[in-house]
DNA sequence: CATGAATGAGATTTCATTCAT
DNA sequence: GATGAATGAAATCTCATTCAT
């Protein structure tokens, strides 16, 4: 019914499987069950579709990650929640996660709209608070952020490649958080 | 004079700037200063060029990383040398590093020739030895490898984005190794 | 309020600026402030709109040219009035004038409806009368008509390209009529 | 053999018959007997082809008109030669002539390269000389030029529409020159 | 009457690849 | 080996037109 959503879904599936170049817009339209021209009704160009898909996924991730946080949580608790939520999301949305990677290491990165940049500000601020409280020993905050992000990315990669059981996954996720936390505190 | 090298250099420059799709073979030939058809003397197809470039870079990296290792080094010393060499290479060869990323998160990954896979075996074995000696506490070795790799990737990203001075870079690299080492031991 | 008129105005503006091909119906609708489909209520096809616009403009010109003629005027006086009125119209309606030219040297000419052809009959008849009275020396009437028309067109072109003052324009118009008249008598 | 020439010829034929819009590049390639892509090897865009064709024709006309002029000719003789040569060319190259008209009353006019503008300078200078010698009474030169050009255009139109015999054509051409000459002197 | 989302045929253009020289 | 004109399949995108609301 919602053709725009159908197109985004089709694009996600095909882009992650065949890459940006390997996926003609005609295939996307076909997979989405709409006419060729309809795609261009919703997205002026193929590039715009590629970026819009990234923005859409990033918003989903942002929403999912933020929803459990509570004001009274300690820094560590907040960090853990962010970390765990992101990892769970990455496991439940493997395709979306791969799309983000693919997008970020493509020349399309330069087209990310300004509005999205602010999203990761909440995490940076949390880290800064941790540093101010002398809880986090490593500085500056941006460096810590880099380390955590890539750690998260590596663990996700590992979990997906090993196809662990749900229980093992849960355990690994918690342990891996303690690992990073130990590293930066 | 060596046209094959010229073509690889041109391809590296253009692929990282405009992506695989955004770079026509004709532009590569032009940038390399050879005729359009000449490119196809050296590389049967564009895909073959893309993979060959990856293999070429990976070999450079492999060579550079392995060259300082000595048989009598301790596990930690060996690990540090690997880590530091890789990071230095990533900083000195920013473009090559970005190419690797771009390649690995593209559908071309599936075309990596078998010969290359063995390369990272040396590191895995080193980690396994560390685990056997109860030096490294985190298991299994593949997980540790994932963590180290992505950490390395994150630090590289950070250094490149911050454009630090050479001295600061050196310091950060050494400290960051201690960070990971602390985490896994 | 009169959407049909709005569409014709928008079409005139855009067609003269961007050409028939360079002007999508959607742009016309937008410029006219109506919905895309509305255009097709008033004009079954784009071609029909193009022809209708020509007919509309031609009728305005015909009306404007004929309105001053009086039965008792001499041949020369009648000719002058036609000539001067046409030229004034061409100056006051530069865009419309350009549309006519553009239309006449396009493949759409072949779609001019029969009803319009008779319009120029009045002038031809006047010339024939002039020839019969041995006032006009050049023959046949069609040839004279060709010469006058293109003269008129040339003068109009010149006036528009030079952006003369109103007074100069008036003078030039009158003089230019005497020039043609001298030529054919 | 000369594919570029073949393409120009095909384009001329089809553009005058079906208009710019009505002629797909694929049809041009087909008519020229070359592959679709070959057209774009010689002309980067369809627009470039359209302009290049105009320039090509204009050069032919310019060459043909200039070739009979001799230094010792009087002003009138020079003018007559220009006039007659242009008219003959217009009759012998009806299609080319129609292309010029079509082009000049299309939005492509604005793309005429600067190099072409100077071409008509020779005629303007001749007229100026005529004015200085008090031979030509009408001023300024640009106005005279406008009048002659459009007269020429009108006569050409008339001759083509009437399909006169060669002898009649010749006579008409000479007489028509005397007509304009009378008008401006 | 009016709308504008949807259509899909078709246009322009690109580009990997070939091959005669 | 080297060249670059030529190819033609295929990709992106446009746009006149329809039709359900």
Distance to chain D for C155, nearest Cα, Å: 7
Q: Show Cβ contacts of residue A75 under 8 Å, excluding neighbours closer than 6 positions.
A: A126, A129, A130, A133, A135
Helices C3-18 and C94-104: crossing angle in degrees, nearest 10, is 70
Residues of D in contact with C107 (CB under 8 A): 17-19, 22
- For residue B1, pLDDT beyond 70: no
Rounded to the nearest angstrom, the minimum Cα separation between B19 and chain A is: 6
Mean pLDDT of C64-74: 85
Contact B68, B85 (CB under 8 A): yes
Instruction: Say whether the CB atom of D36 is under 7 angstroms from strand E.
Output: yes
Length of chain D measured in residues: 185
Residue B136 has pLDDT above 80, yes or no: yes
Q: What pTM does this model have?
A: 0.88
Token output for A42: 């919703």
Interatomic CA–C1' length for residue B46 and nucleotide E14, angstroms: 15
**Where would I find the H helices in chain A?**
3-18, 25-32, 36-42, 46-66, 75-92, 94-104, 114-117, 121-132, 141-162, 166-184
What is the per-residue pLDDT across A83-102, written as a single tens digit (0 to 9) for each?
A: 999 999 999 999 999 999 88
CB C77 within 8 A of CB C39: no
Shortest alpha-carbon distance between residue A1 and chain B (Å): 31
In a mutational test of the B interface, the residue from A17, A50, A51, A105 whose CB has the highest number of chain B CBs within 10 Å is A105
| Confidence class for position B65, pLDDT limits 50, 70, 90 | confident
Cβ–Cβ below 8 Å for C142 and D157: no
- Strand F: which positions are within 7 A of a protein CB? 1-20
Q: Which of A107, A176, A184 has its CB closest to that of B19? A: A107
Q: Is it the case that residue D164 has pLDDT exceeding 90?
A: no
Q: Do C105 and D105 touch (CB under 8 A)?
A: yes
Q: Which two tokens stand for residue C167?
A: 């007074």
Nearest nt to the A32 alpha carbon by C1': E6
Asked if the Cβ–Cβ distance from C105 to D102 is below 8 Å, we say: yes
At residue C36, the pLDDT reads 94
Q: What is the number of CB-based contacts under 8 A between chain A and chain B?
A: 91
Test mutation, D14, D22, D103, D105, chain C, max C CBs within 10 A: D105
Cα distance from A105 to chain B (closest Cα, Å)? 5
B173 pLDDT more than 90: yes
DSSP state letters, chain B: --HHHHHHHHHHHHHHHHTTTT--HHHHHHHHTS-GGGHHHH-SSHHHHHHHHHHHHHHHHHHHHHTT--TT--HHHHHHHHHHHHHHHHHHTHHHHHHHHHHHTSGGGGG--HHHHGGGHHHHHHHHHHHHTT---S--HHHHHHHHHHHHHHHHHHHHHHT--HHHHHHHHHHHHHHHHHHH-
Produce one character per residue of A94-123: b if its CB has 16 or more CB atoms within 10 Å, e if not.
eebbbbbbbbebbbbeeeeeeeeeeeeeeb
Contact D158 C143 (CB under 8 A): yes
User: CB < 7 Å to strand F — which of 30-89 in chain D?
Assistant: 34-38, 40-42
Cα–Cα distance for residue pair C80/C91, rounded to 1 Å: 16
Angstrom distances, CA of residue A125 to CA of A140, A141, D106, D156 = 11, 8, 60, 80
Question: Which of D100, D102, D147 is the best substitution to test chain C (most C C-beta atoms within 10 A)?
Answer: D147
Is the peptide bond prior to B140 cis by the omega test (within 30 degrees of 0)?
yes
Q: Which of B 65-124 have CB under 7 A of nucleic chain E?
A: none
B-side interface with A, Cβ within 8 Å? 17-22, 98, 101-102, 104-108, 138, 142-143, 146-147, 149-151, 153-155, 157-158, 162, 172, 176, 179-180, 182-184
Contact yes or no for D155/D172 (Cβ under 8 A): yes
Whether B181 contacts A149, CB under 8 Å:
no
Closest CA to D49 of D99, D90, D91, D94: D99
In total, the C-beta contacts within 8 angstroms joining chain C to chain D are 91
Q: B144, B151, B160, B180: which to substitute to probe chain A, counting the most A Cβ within 10 Å?
A: B151
Q: Write down how long chain A is.
A: 185
Q: What are the pLDDT digits (tens) for D61-77?
A: 988 988 888 888 899 99
Portion of chain B with pLDDT greater than 70, in percent: 98
Nucleotides of E under 7 A from a protein CB: 1-20
How far is the C-alpha of B124 from the C-alpha of A77, rounded, in Å? 33
CA-nearest residue of chain C to D149? C154
Show the domains of chain B with their CATH numbers.
1-44 (1.10.10.60), 55-184 (1.10.357.10)
pLDDT band at D118 (very low <50, low <70, confident <90, very high): low
Question: Does A157 contact B146 at a Cβ distance shorter than 8 Å?
Answer: yes
Quote the pLDDT of residue B14: 95
The answer to whether B19 CB sits below 7 Å from nucleic acid chain E is: no
DSSP state of C138: S
Q: Which of D102, D146, D153 sits opposite C158 (nearest CB)?
A: D146
Q: Do the Cβ atoms of D18 and C21 come closer than 8 Å?
A: no
Rounded Cα distance, D140 and C58, in Å: 32
Helix ranges restricted to H, chain D: 3-18, 25-32, 36-42, 46-66, 75-92, 94-104, 114-117, 121-132, 141-162, 166-184
From CA B91, how far away is CA B167, in angstroms rounded?
Answer: 13
Say whether D179 and C183 touch across the interface (CB within 8 A). yes
**Residues D113 and D51: beta-carbon distance below 8 Å:** yes
Q: D41-60 pLDDT, tens per residue?
A: 999 999 999 999 999 999 99
Residues 6+ apart with CB under 8 A from A59: none
Per residue in A6-15, pLDDT (tens digit) is: 999 999 999 9
CB contact under 8 A, B107 and A153: no
Distance CA B85, CA B91 (A): 10
Q: Are C154 and D149 in contact (CB under 8 A)?
A: yes
A111 Cβ partners below 8 Å, 6+ apart?
A: A47, A51
* Residues in CB range of D185: below 8 A, 6 or more apart: D135, D136, D137
In angstroms, the CA C35 to CA C30 distance is 7
Instruction: Give the tokens for residue B97.
Output: 């590093």
Q: Which chain A residues have a beta carbon less than 8 Å from that of B100?
A: none
* Average pLDDT, integer, range B170-183: 92
B41 beta carbon to strand F: under 7 Å = yes
The pair of structure tokens assigned to D23 is 């002629």
Other CB atoms within 10 Å distance of the CB of residue D163: 8
Answer for the pair D151, D96: CB distance below 8 angstroms, yes or no: no
Sign for the pseudo-dihedral over CA of C65, C66, C70, C72: positive
Helical packing angle, A141-162 and A121-132, nearest 10°: 120
What b/e string do you get for B89-115 counting C-beta neighbours within 10 Å, with b at 16 or more?
Answer: bbbebeebbbbbbbbebbbbeeeeeee
Closest to A179 (Cα-Cα) out of C106, C86, B182 = B182
Contact D17, D26 (CB under 8 A): no
Distance, CA of C97 to C1' of E8, in Å: 37
Alpha-carbon gap, residue C140 to D153, rounded angstroms: 18
Q: Each residue of C86-112: pLDDT tens digit?
A: 999 999 999 999 999 889 888 898 898
> What distance in Å separates the CA atoms of residue C93 and residue C101, rounded to the nearest whole number?
13
Averaged confidence pLDDT in chain D: 91
Find chains touching chain C: ≥3 CB pairs under 8 Å.
D
- Using a 10 angstrom Cβ sphere, with 0-12 exposed, 13-18 middle and 19 or more buried, the burial of residue A73 is middle
Distance from CA of C176 to the nearest CA of D (A): 9
pLDDT in tens, A5-53: 999 999 999 999 999 988 999 999 999 999 999 999 999 999 999 999 9
Average the pLDDT over C59-66 and give the result: 89
Q: What is the mean pLDDT of residues D93-97?
A: 94
Contact (CB, 8 A) for B34 and B27: no
Alpha carbons D17 and D92: distance in angstroms, whole number: 17
């Amino acid at each position: 019914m919602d053709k725009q959503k159908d197109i985004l879904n089709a694009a996600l599936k095909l882009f992650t499987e065949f890459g940006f170049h390997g996926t003609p817009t005609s295939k996307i339209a076909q997979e989405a069950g709409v006419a060729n021209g309809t795609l261009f009704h919703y997205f002026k160009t193929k590039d715009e579709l590629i970026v819009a898909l990234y923005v859409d996924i990033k918003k989903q991730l942002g929403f999912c990650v933020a929803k459990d946080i509570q004001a009274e949580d300690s820094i560590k608790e907040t960090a853990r929640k962010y970390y765990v939520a992101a990892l769970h999301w990455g496991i439940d949305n493997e395709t979306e996660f791969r799309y983000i990677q693919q997008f970020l290491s493509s020349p399309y990165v330069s087209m990310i709209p300004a509005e999205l940049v602010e999203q990761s500000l909440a995490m940076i601020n949390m880290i800064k608070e941790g540093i101010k409280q002398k809880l986090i020993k490593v500085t500056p905050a941006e460096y810590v952020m880099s380390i955590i992000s890539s750690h998260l990315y590596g663990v996700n990669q590992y979990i997906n490649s090993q196809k662990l059981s749900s229980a093992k996954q849960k355990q690994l996720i918690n342990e891996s958080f303690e690992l990073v936390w130990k590293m930066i505190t």
